[in-house]
């Protein structure tokens, strides 16, 4: 694409990654049209507080806006909120929107994020909810902070489910977490460290039941009454939060020329392989060359830091191509954190349940830090209430450290 042909950039997805793409375009001197399309009616807001401060009633919606109204206006955007994209024609470079409108683009950044997965046959009952949007959080907050006994059941012991469980318990609710795997977070942390995270909740009165099968959600008079398990038991519930993971929001791209495989498949520069189309955030699956030759170097990451960095990187890539330059590769060490009760869980890198695990400080029954390794390479580091031991490893991972180098570094930090 020649530079003079880049007159309009469209960004689909008005959350963190999409906003960062718009900001990068303007900060880089792009003076053409920038159209930001968002399915939700609210201006871009921060999602992590949805399961924490906002859900607890400590913050109101104005506290989670990513930018002030003046800052957003300063970007000179054609802002189209409360309308979802419904299809993409990459030949004509046109996006169709709800209601029949179409938007043409010269370059496109897709940052539509992810949507919560539903249980098979999940009923539409009052009190059954998922948590992804501001509207979801405000509805759930009303239920958690209500009067009387509130029995909350969370289905799924992933990070969002556990954060909701912690917030609900601190609000005085009786909380049960149901998980099919033998331990929480087992796919990422393994059984031993997943059990350690479960201990954080047990010490605060949350019942986490692992290895159970959920066969259905029951209700009466249009409201939820309980969750039926495989052995016939019904866990009595006033509120049920379904937290069984998310799927990339790419259904609207079916039939386009994009390659979809648990996300939009991209190269190392976040280019989709289709002229002018890039992806960022939870919906992007890209080749993170920093993790070569790990077995998961092509990855999709669902965390705040990645969304922020990728939105900017996708915009930088499309601008480089418009100038006839080679786009930069996006190489990054994933990082996330999760606040649960009085514990801050931090993780850098990647991890799988069958990785080699070495506890470098503390005890999994309390504060600790541990490394994950794969075939002689450091793959990730997790810590509970040990930030000074976790964050130095992000640079070490970026330097492609060996397992022995990581052990040596850990010895200097203990």
> pLDDT tens for residues 137-178?
999 999 999 888 899 999 999 999 999 999 999 999 999 999
pLDDT at 4 exceeding the cut of 80:
no
Confidence of residue 354 (pLDDT cuts 50, 70, 90): confident
pLDDT at 130 exceeding the cut of 60:
yes
Looking at residue 190, its pLDDT comes to 83
332 lies in a domain?
no
CATH code of residue 373:
3.30.390.30
Q: Among residues 226, 242, 258, which one ends one of the domains?
A: 242
pTM: 0.94
330 lies in a domain?
no
Looking at residue 414, its pLDDT comes to 64
Q: Among residues 202, 227, 242, which one ends one of the domains?
A: 242
Domains of the chain: total: 3
Q: Give pLDDT tens digits for 358-410.
A: 999 998 888 999 999 999 999 999 999 998 899 999 999 999 999 999 999 99
Q: Which of the pair, 5 or 363, is modelled with greater confidence?
A: 363
Same domain, 156 and 72: no
Range of the domain at 349: 342-413
Percent share of the chain, pLDDT over 70: 99
pLDDT at 3 exceeding the cut of 70:
no
Confidence of residue 8 (pLDDT cuts 50, 70, 90): very high
Looking at residue 19, its pLDDT comes to 98
Same domain, 307 and 217: no
Same domain, 223 and 290: no
331 lies in a domain?
no
336 lies in a domain?
no
391 lies in a domain?
yes
Same domain, 188 and 157: yes
Q: Give pLDDT tens digits for 223-261.
A: 999 999 999 999 999 999 999 999 999 999 999 999 999
Q: Among residues 322, 350, 371, which one ends one of the domains?
A: 322
CATH code of residue 312:
3.50.50.60
Q: Give pLDDT tens digits for 77-117.
A: 999 999 999 999 999 999 999 999 999 999 999 999 999 99
Q: String of b and e for 253-276 (b: at least 16 CB within 10 Å)? A: beebebebeebbbbbbbbbbebeb
371 lies in a domain?
yes
Same domain, 109 and 251: yes
Looking at residue 1, its pLDDT comes to 38
pLDDT at 35 exceeding the cut of 60:
yes
Task: Report the distance separating Cα 57 and Cα 328, nearest Å.
Answer: 42
Mean pLDDT of the 322-340 span: 94
333 lies in a domain?
no
Same domain, 76 and 90: yes
Q: Picking from 36-50, 180-194, 322-336, which range would have the lowest pLDDT averaged per residue?
A: 180-194
Same domain, 207 and 274: no
pLDDT at 347 exceeding the cut of 70:
yes
Looking at residue 146, its pLDDT comes to 84
Same domain, 123 and 219: yes
Same domain, 236 and 251: no
Instruction: Give Cβ neighbours of residue 99 (< 8 Å, ≥ 6 apart).
Output: 83
pLDDT at 276 exceeding the cut of 60:
yes
């Amino acid at each position: 694409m020649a530079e003079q042909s880049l007159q309009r950039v469209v960004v689909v997805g008005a959350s963190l990654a999409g906003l960062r793409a718009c900001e990068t375009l303007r900060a880089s001197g792009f003076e053409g049209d920038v159209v930001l399309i968002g399915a939700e009616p609210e201006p871009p807001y921060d999602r992590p507080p949805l399961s924490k401060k906002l859900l607890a009633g400590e913050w109101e919606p104005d506290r989670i806006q990513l930018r002030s109204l003046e800052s957003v206006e300063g970007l000179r955007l054609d802002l189209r909120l409360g309308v979802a994209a419904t299809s993409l024609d990459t030949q004509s470079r046109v996006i169709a929107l709800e209601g029949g409108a179409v938007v043409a683009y010269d370059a496109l950044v897709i940052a539509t994020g992810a949507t919560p997965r539903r249980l098979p046959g999940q009923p539409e009952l009052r009190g059954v909810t998922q948590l992804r949007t501001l509207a979801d959080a405000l509805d759930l907050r009303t239920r958690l902070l209500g009067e009387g006994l509130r029995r909350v059941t969370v289905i799924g012991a992933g990070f969002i489910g556990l954060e909701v469980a912690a917030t609900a318990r601190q609000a005085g609710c009786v909380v049960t977490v149901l998980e099919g795997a033998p331990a929480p977070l087992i796919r990422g942390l393994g059984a031993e460290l997943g059990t350690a995270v479960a201990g954080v909740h047990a010490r605060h009165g949350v019942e986490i039941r692992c290895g159970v099968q959920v066969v259905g959600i029951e209700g009466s008079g249009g409201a939820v009454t309980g969750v039926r398990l495989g052995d016939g038991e019904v866990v009595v519930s006033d509120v049920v939060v379904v937290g069984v993971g998310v799927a990339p929001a790419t259904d609207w791209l079916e039939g386009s020329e994009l390659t979809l495989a648990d996300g939009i498949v991209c190269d190392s520069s976040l280019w989709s392989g289709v002229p002018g189309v890039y992806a960022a955030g939870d919906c992007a699956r890209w080749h993170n060359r920093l993790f070569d030759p790990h077995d998961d170097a092509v990855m999709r990451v669902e965390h705040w830091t990645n969304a922020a960095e990728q939105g900017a990187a996708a915009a930088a890539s499309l601008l480089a191509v418009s100038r006839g330059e080679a786009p930069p590769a996006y190489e990054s060490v994933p990082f996330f954190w999760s606040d649960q009760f009085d514990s801050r869980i931090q993780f850098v890198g990647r991890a799988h349940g069958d990785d080699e695990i070495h506890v470098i400080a503390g005890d999994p029954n309390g504060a600790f830090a541990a490394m994950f390794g794969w075939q002689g390479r450091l793959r990730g580091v997790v810590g509970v209430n040990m930030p000074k031991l976790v964050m130095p490893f992000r640079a070490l991972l970026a330097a492609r450290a060996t397992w022995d180098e990581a052990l040596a570094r850990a010895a200097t930090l203990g």
